[in-house]
Amino acid sequence: MKKLIAANWKMNKTAGESALFIGEFKKIIKNEKNADVVICPPFTALSAVSGELKGSGIKLGAQNMHFEDFGAFTGEISPLMLKELGCQYAILGHSDRREIGEKDGLINKKVISALKKGIVPILCIGETHEQRIKDETQDVLESQLTGCLKGVENISNVVVAYEPVWAISKGNPSQKAATKEDAEEAHLFIRKLLEGMYNEEAAKKTRIIYGGSMKPENAKELLAMPNIDGGLVGNASLNPKSFAEIVNSANK
């Protein structure tokens, strides 16, 4: 299985800055054929990035989406709008979205909608610092995974991103980074959950990627772990050189 390395730019980069990034990134990327690369810019830069990515093999993703195709949903973006721009992926259930009130039921609707439209959901799950110190990690992961995948029959069309909130700078008061062992333990647990929810073959085919402060310094060791199938990269994806280093470390 190819590694999947996705860049989540969050609320960063204008359309012009995004186009410049892609131009620079394409010049220095070396391992594109050995890893599936996805760029997820802000909605305002999707069109510009889509144009720059044409013919490159790099995929386009969105950072969120509404579950309805159209309607009176001020400020929202539908899956049909994303498809028209060439989006093949959408990040759903990110901790940034959960922090402002998104619940598993809403995320579940988005996952189902994305799958119906041929968009691959990158479903984010993960525990907070408080939940981790209370030893609630496994309960949280199981609750989020089962809630967000309710009614989803083909799990291999979903990417699961383990995103420990405590390992992200703004959600990490202790500043303790996740180790490769921390990450692998959670990924194995998620795979076992998927095996129980579906079957062993489906669980093996499902990409489970890591989303807790992956950077050039730790990418290689994280990506070498048997159950880590890629990364959802935040801050380190904002610089074309550092993001290229992470992509180039895949499958080494």
CB atoms within 10 A of CB 56: 14
Q: What DSSP string runs through 123-184?
A: EEE---HHHHHTT-HHHHHHHHHHHHTTT---GGG-EEEE--GGGSGGG-TT--PPPHHHHH
Q: Which pLDDT does position 169 carry in this prediction? A: 62
The letter for the amino acid at 63 is Q
Q: What are phi and psi of 161, to 5 degrees?
A: -110, 115
Q: Which two tokens stand for residue 174?
A: 């202790």
pLDDT tens per residue, range 34-60: 799 999 999 999 999 999 999 999 999
pLDDT at 19 over 50: yes
Active site residues per annotation: 94, 163
Q: How many other CB atoms are found less than 10 A from the CB of residue 88? A: 15
Q: What is the mean pLDDT of residues 141-165?
A: 96
H-helix or E-strand spanning residue 145: helix 137-148
Domain ranges of the chain: 3-249
Q: Fold for domain 3-249?
A: TIM Barrel (3.20.20)
pTM tops 0.85, yes or no: yes
Q: Which residue, among 215, 247, 102, 95, has the nearest Cα to 161 in the 3D structure? A: 95
How many Å separate Cα 60 from the centre of its chain? Answer: 12
> Which two structure tokens, joined as six digits, stand for 50?
């889509």
Higher pLDDT, 250 or 243: 243
Residue 173 has pLDDT above 60, yes or no: no
Cβ pair 79, 119 in contact under 8 A: yes
Decide if pLDDT at 163 tops 90: yes
Q: Are 9 and 238 in contact (CB under 8 A)?
A: yes
Task: State the pLDDT at residue 171.
Answer: 45
- Band of the pLDDT at 170, cuts 50, 70, 90? low
**Length of the chain (residues):** 252
Percent of the chain with pLDDT over 90: 90
